[in-house]
Structure 1
């Protein structure tokens, strides 16, 4: 056991020492790595998912549904919150430390050509290797950043999904929605249907142009399929050929109904000869789906909510949720934000519903100092505390909260990951 633990820690130390980003580096290295592994990505059917927000929620829901339908399913997502293994799941469970070591060694011995791989390329190769080794039927694969040059963009999926588009990672993806759409739309493959939740005209026109060039059928939310929210908390899905009533998602937030629409549209297309997914499996998979760190409730008293809210749209969704669902509580916001995010706009979306704020900073070089956030926070409340260490910030928030108060931990998935580690030993009422 100790030997595996040591090997596991050594593997991760080596991987975390690799370059973190590489969108401009091309796909040649990942292709060489996969060739050395025997092209494992060709040994299973896949669904490829890109977009700005909702990728993980859609991916986890599709994996949950396919598993409920009786398939063996791999799920590849990023980033992880607490442990690397979360990135590579089989049948909704992270792979073991021993599996991580096995996959790492296989990739290490496969070779990679002239350029050292990035962390994400290495992790992607490990995920594909492990899915093939475990003989999954389906793999649901989330892009890391962008799409066109993302390391995952070597798969030939049964269907592509692009959730939505907003401005993000401008130094890598471009300064306009159209440029970003071009990068995300790079996952569209010849003849492979694509489902999208994007609504902006300039974004749709980019997708339409790419899809036409590649003879890929394009299905649009709000046009080809839609949803209606019902008073009972359920929703009705109106699809291409089917209307499914009394549907329910296990994820909180009004926006998750829109994500569920993309999931059901994907299932409807897959059922045309690519998979056999009964309606009951869709219902069960949607309701049973859980996606950590996204409107995740970890305590009822005090009410403790974790949500990455790592960009403006996500922060706006969380702000709406806090106002709509927790407006009758005293809310303390524990927040830390990375330096490539529009922190002022994000805080202005989150703070109106909150009475107190604790400014913190995750352990990553790209995190903003709490002092940078303070002037914006002062516009909304005088009750501000700076606690740079996330663990200390979370503990202070919990220890000073009343039983009916609410605590929201947000601003970055790195903050949420450190918070999840910090609260492990609390005996919460759930």
Structure 2
């Protein structure tokens, strides 16, 4: 039995997906059955995609909360503490409830799985599903971890599925082509349940639509069944089954317009009717930490963890800060294709800096730096020392852009919070 949150989280953080050797989703289904199948007691919207899952989920949550619904949300990763991953109307699960449910799950694992725990992410998913089933929600929003078909969140049958974008990521697990990765993400589509799609890549889109057709799941595709028209730096109009003009966003960038449009469509499919004023108010509130987040005037945090995210980051930078010199600080995990992201940054950077965080899967700064062709570049083992130095040396015409893995952004945000910068 776990006696404290510190003891509990220290244990589950050590759980690795590679250490549980059962069939995919097998352990989750055994545990859920022992818990009385909590995943059948809640309505869901399920989110998958390479980029934009979190922002789209957050915008959907704001819209549904504005319509006076009680909304659970399961997200990843967390920025400060694991409780952030499991919320109801944005309030985090309490330590008491987290520990109580974890001890029940641990008892099932010890009795039925011979003490062989599934991964950290799977455990978090199970805690969320049990917690949501107890709280009498109107619905819960679930974000996949990696992929979709074999993801631990894929034990649910959602009312609506959402697939945001497809990039070449986690190629060691999901496949090396857009079609293969799309097939994994499309695994969240369920028979007869609508799917909202923001995917632009033709190869990936064709796969997803084929899966939807096979499962008799109606597709709602951005720029086919619903549309957006940008009307300003942070404003747009939405056209589909309903028209909403002059929506103002709390977040910047064309990709955030797309995310908001997916959220509106998913919300309408769930609720059937929307209050336009509620939607407008909701999107003005829908901020997402670590996504083009400003710290003071000259620092930006952005979890652009793959080439599509990096492209969106650069597009947004050139839109809102076209005259600044960009100084990138980049740290990433090994299981990403860094070459394209680094080339994109090289093309617009004033200076390039590479560093790492203390994670087993972290890419080495030297290896990242060698992929850069920039004239002014360097590798640094100590990210805190690097960022402190760069912050102290920033001039008014320079922007320090801290980007890469969301785990890196979480570490930096934590340090900034300690210093009172956030």
Aligned to 2:411, what secondary structure does the other structure show? helix
Structure 1 segment 5-404 matched on structure 2, within 5 A = 7-20=4-17, 25-111=23-109, 113=113, 116-231=117-232, 233-239=234-240, 241-272=241-272, 277-300=274-297, 303-377=298-372, 379-382=373-376, 384-403=377-396
Distance in 1, matches of 2:301 and 2:12, equals 27
Q: Map Cα deviations across residues 316-346 of structure 1 (whole Å, 9 max, x no partner).
A: 1112222332232233211112212222211
- TM-score, normalization: structure 1? 0.91
Q: Map Cα deviations across residues 89-118 of structure 1 (whole Å, 9 max, x no partner).
A: 211132233332223123222335365311
Distance in 1, matches of 2:210 and 2:324, equals 48
Shift of 1:23: 11
Shift of 1:195: 0.8
Shift of 1:219: 1.2
Shift of 1:189: 0.6
Contact residue 49 and residue 164 of structure 2 kept, 8 A: yes
Distance in 2, matches of 1:58 and 1:199, equals 16
Aligned length: 417
Describe the shift of the 1:354–1:208 C-alpha distance in structure 2 as closer, same or farther (beyond 3 A). closer
Aligned to 1:160, what secondary structure does the other structure show? strand
Contact residue 336 and residue 360 of structure 1 kept, 8 A: yes
Q: Map Cα deviations across residues 337-371 of structure 1 (whole Å, 9 max, x no partner).
A: 22122222111112333322332101111112111
Q: Map Cα deviations across residues 160-196 of structure 1 (whole Å, 9 max, x no partner).
A: 1111212111111112111111111111111101110
Shift of 1:57: 0.7
Runs (4+) of structure 1 exceeding 4 A deviation are 21-24
- TM-score, normalization: structure 2? 0.93
Distance in 2, matches of 1:20 and 1:205, equals 31
Structure 1: unaligned runs, 5 residues or longer: none
